């Protein structure tokens, strides 16, 4: 017994399993080696006859070999049955499969989702409001009375039926609606469709989407506004992008600001995209004008707040390098599939 060459035995067995061309030959190999009267089975049965010190080695080696052959058998069997339909002359590994359709979200949705994600992580909830809005919420309660020169900042669609309503020019009305029924702290972002009677061109669309933000609480500061907007800009346009905070004017914020990011096309040297300034405006913001608190019954001595607003189309155009806003509403699949 001790004269058995285990390695030669294993090589011989493996060779027979591996060279089996079909199921029939595999079955013969099984019977010959690991069947009830197979060679390995018989050798295992003879182990008790071996000297005590050889038994463990012989048992271990033979059992391992038996396991290996069984696994080999199983794998060969699987392969043989899988190959069955593909074997033969027309087996073509390059043949196209039956491909299901692949869907994608609209780039404005993807962009909006990213914007929402950033602010959700900062503790903002998403609030919504109607597209057909009253003059009160769209203008008056935002500190834009009739004949105010700032009304000219928005070319407004008015409705005939129902009479005297507006298609909201921004989602800011939801700020008022929310503060009316919620005590501070209030921390919301408001995405939604807005309307302005702009002449359509590559950067203007009468229908567009906006995201507004509002955070009112005790001790909310302009530095916190800057911090939130910096975080946003870095998440959407890259950690390295420089930002610039610049005074501006909105009737519902005081102080008012706009946030610029460094032009990524020219790295600040000045190009057509940034009109030679090296900076690209991405959003408007500011500290909530204390006059607004009068409309919703907050105490301006106690609370302060910040607000911001941005165009989703603009953010998407900048992120993806899209040069015409009308592409978003044309829905050409060759456009949509790129995002």
DSSP 127: -
What are the CA-CA distances from residue 65 to residues 9, 47, 93 (Å)?
A: 9, 15, 34
Please, which residues bridge with residue 253 across strands? 250, 288
Residues 253-282 that bind another protein (CB under 8 A): 254-258, 275, 277
What is the full DSSP assignment across 199-230?
PPSSS--SEEEEEEEEEEETT--HHHHHHHHH
Residues 300-319 that bind another protein (CB under 8 A): 304
Indicate whether 241 belongs to the interface with Zn ion (CB under 5 A): no
Smaller CB distance to another protein: residue 25 or 131? Answer: 131
Q: What is the largest CA-CA distance in the chain?
A: 111
Query: Binding residue for Zn ion (CB under 5 A) from 265, 290, 319, 339?
Result: 265
Residue 162's binding partner, choosing from another protein, Zn ion, none, with beta-carbon cut-off 5 to 8 A by kind? another protein
Q: Contacts for 315-319 with beta carbons within 8 Å, 24 or more apart?
A: 315/111, 315/115, 315/236, 315/282, 316/107, 316/108, 316/110, 316/111, 317/203, 318/237, 318/280, 318/282, 319/111, 319/236, 319/237
> In the bound complex, what is the minimum distance in angstroms from residue 3's beta carbon to another protein?
53
Does position 207 interact with another protein (CB under 8 A)? The reply is yes
Torsion angles phi and psi, residue 327, rounded to 5: -60, -30
Q: At closest approach, how far in Å is the CB of 280 from another protein? A: 13
Among 79, 197, 202, 338, contact with another protein (rule: CB under 8 A): 197
Q: Which is nearer to another protein, 21 or 102 (CB)?
A: 102
Among 7, 53, 90, 160, binds another protein (CB under 8 A): 160
Q: What mask of x and - would describe binding to Zn ion in positions 273 to 312, judged by CB under 5 A?
A: xx--------------------------------------
Judged by CB under 8 A, does residue 97 bind another protein? Answer: yes
Q: Look at residue 274 and give the partner it binds from Zn ion, another protein, none, a contact being a CB closer than 5 to 8 Å depending on partner kind.
A: Zn ion
């Amino acid at each position: 017994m001790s004269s058995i060459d285990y390695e030669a035995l294993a090589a011989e067995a493996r060779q027979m399993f591996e060279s089996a061309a079909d199921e029939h030959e595999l079955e013969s190999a099984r019977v010959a080696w690991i069947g009830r009267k197979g060679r390995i089975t018989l050798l295992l049965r003879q182990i008790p006859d071996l000297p005590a010190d050889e038994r463990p080695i012989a048992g271990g080696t033979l059992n391992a070999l038996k396991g290996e052959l069984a696994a080999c058998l199983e794998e060969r069997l699987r392969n043989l049955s899988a190959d069955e339909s593909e074997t033969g002359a027309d087996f073509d590994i390059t043949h196209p499969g039956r491909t299901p359709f692949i869907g994608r979200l609209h780039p404005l949705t993807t962009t909006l989702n990213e914007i929402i994600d950033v602010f959700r992580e900062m503790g903002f909830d998403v609030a919504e409001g109607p597209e057909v809005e009253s003059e009160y919420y769209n203008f008056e309660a935002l500190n834009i009375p009739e004949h105010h020169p700032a009304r000219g900042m928005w070319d407004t669609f008015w409705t005939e039926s129902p009479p005297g309503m507006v298609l909201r020019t921004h989602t800011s009305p939801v700020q008022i609606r929310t503060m009316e029924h919620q005590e501070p702290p209030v921390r919301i972002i408001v995405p939604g469709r807005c309307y302005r009677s702009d002449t359509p061109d590559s950067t203007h669309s009468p229908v567009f989407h906006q995201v507004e933000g509002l955070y009112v609480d005790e001790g909310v500061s302009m530095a916190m506004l800057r911090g939130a907007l910096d975080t946003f800009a870095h998440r959407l346009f890259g950690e390295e992008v420089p930002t610039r905070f610049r005074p501006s004017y909105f009737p519902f914020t005081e102080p008012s600001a706009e946030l610029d990011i460094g032009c990524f096309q020219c790295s600040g040297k000045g190009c057509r995209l940034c009109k030679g300034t090296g900076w690209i405006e991405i959003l408007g913001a500011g500290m909530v004008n204390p006059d607004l608190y009068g409309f919703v019954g907050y105490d301006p001595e106690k609370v302060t707040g910040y607000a911001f607003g941005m165009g989703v189309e603009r953010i998407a155009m900048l992120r993806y390098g899209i040069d015409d806003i009308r592409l978003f509403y044309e829905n050409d699949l060759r456009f949509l599939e790129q995002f």
